Amino acid sequence: MVTIEADQLAELESASRHLENAKPWEILAWAIERYHPKLTMATAFGPEGCAIIHMISQIEPTVRIFNLDTGYQFAETLLLRDRIASELGITVEMVRPALDVPAYESANGGPVYSHDPDRCCRERKLQPMRQAIVGYDAWISSIRADQSSHRARASVISFDAKFGLVKVNPLLRWTHRDVWAYIMSNHVPYNPLHDHGYPSIGCWPCTRAVQVGETDERAGRWAGQAKTECGLHSLDSSQL
């Protein structure tokens, strides 16, 4: 796990306190002024990510944005990338593992996600992430504090020791309703699966629609398993 000097950490904590009640676009503007062009963003094209991409398109469209394409994403997710490029003028880079899905499954005797989803996430998502951030100082995430107890412990600005980068969470204090109000009022393109019972979308083998009576918007992710995160936002560096 990467460490940071005490004075640098204090600076980030001060910035986080200062930006605690700032608007997401104000947080992004601070991050862009402070770190661009060594600022990047990872997106899975969720509603939060699409809202942030729209904000970035209005502030500094040259910020590098990438998607960790595991090879298992929904077709609707991949098509959304094209809509974002067309409507927002932002081309999202696709970062992929060394092996495509057929080669990966052939090398492992079949789908790894069926018996070891943590390993699948590590090899198809987390390891490519580590390669994608080489040369950058900070990254933007789209997590919200109200999504889970783990995410509730996050700060607006912090040091991500797992990746060795400053982590910027501009939507941390927004709610699900805030995000969708922004999307609707600004005509932001979004994944049509959200209109069909998928409030949170990951890879298709490990994502299902939320069922009647389920109130957790992430209930469809790794349903029936103890797993709740891919590992990008966990504090455990051993997952890498």
Of the two residues 236 and 126, the one the predictor is more confident about is 126
Task: Pinpoint the alpha helices (H) of the chain.
Answer: 6-19, 24-35, 47-59, 75-88, 101-107, 117-121, 127-132, 176-186
Could you count the other beta carbons within 10 Å of the beta carbon of residue 31?
Answer: 26
Q: In what order do the strands lie in the sheet with 64-68?
A: 93-95, 64-68, 39-42, 138-140, 165-168, 157-160
> Which pLDDT belongs to residue 236?
44
> Which pLDDT belongs to residue 102?
98
Of the two residues 41 and 230, the one the predictor is more confident about is 41
> Which pLDDT belongs to residue 240?
33
Report strand pairing: 138-140 vs 39-42.
Answer: parallel
Residues with catalytic roles = 230
> Which pLDDT belongs to residue 1?
58
Closest CA to 166 of 130, 190, 139: 139
Confidence band (pLDDT; 50, 70, 90) for 164?
very high
Report domain 6-239's class: alpha beta
Tokens at residue 240, please? 């890498």
Is 237 a residue whose pLDDT tops 90? no
Q: Mean per-residue pLDDT for 123-138?
A: 97
> Which pLDDT belongs to residue 234?
65
Q: Taking the model in full, what pTM does it have?
A: 0.92
Domain boundaries in the chain? 6-239
Mean of the per-residue pLDDT values of the chain: 93
Q: Mean per-residue pLDDT for 7-13?
A: 95
